[in-house]
Amino acid sequence: MPESDKSEVFKALLAYGTLGLEMGLSVAIGIGIGYFLDSRFGTSPILSIIFLLFGIAAGLKRLYEVWKKAERESEDETRDTK
């Protein structure tokens, strides 16, 4: 396998490997913000739930972006091989 192919595979593994971490951090940050605001305003657990949903939405948005990028790259490779 040529060196350039190895580096591209490594970049792809890094991009997809960090996706789980990004999703987990999005949810954790959302819960953290919600918990902080709940404790500050005494609205427990309303803001925690709302910011949890924001964190989930942010994680899903990132997943969608990575999916579309992979789809575009796959289409580009298909066009290049024809």
Q: What is the mean pLDDT of the chain?
A: 91
Backbone angles phi, psi at 42, to 5 degrees: 70, 35
Give the domain ranges of the chain.
15-81
Q: How confident is the model at residue 1 (pLDDT cuts 50, 70, 90)?
A: low
- Greatest Cα pair distance, the chain, in angstroms, is 62
Residue position matching structure tokens 């990028």: 69
Q: Please, which residues have CB within 8 angstroms of residue 47's CB and are 6 or more apart in sequence?
A: 34, 35, 37, 38, 41
Asked whether residue 82 carries a pLDDT value surpassing 80, the answer given is no
What average pLDDT score do residues 36-51 get?
97
Helix (H), strand (E) at residue 50 = helix 46-81
Asked if pLDDT for residue 61 goes beyond 90, the answer is yes
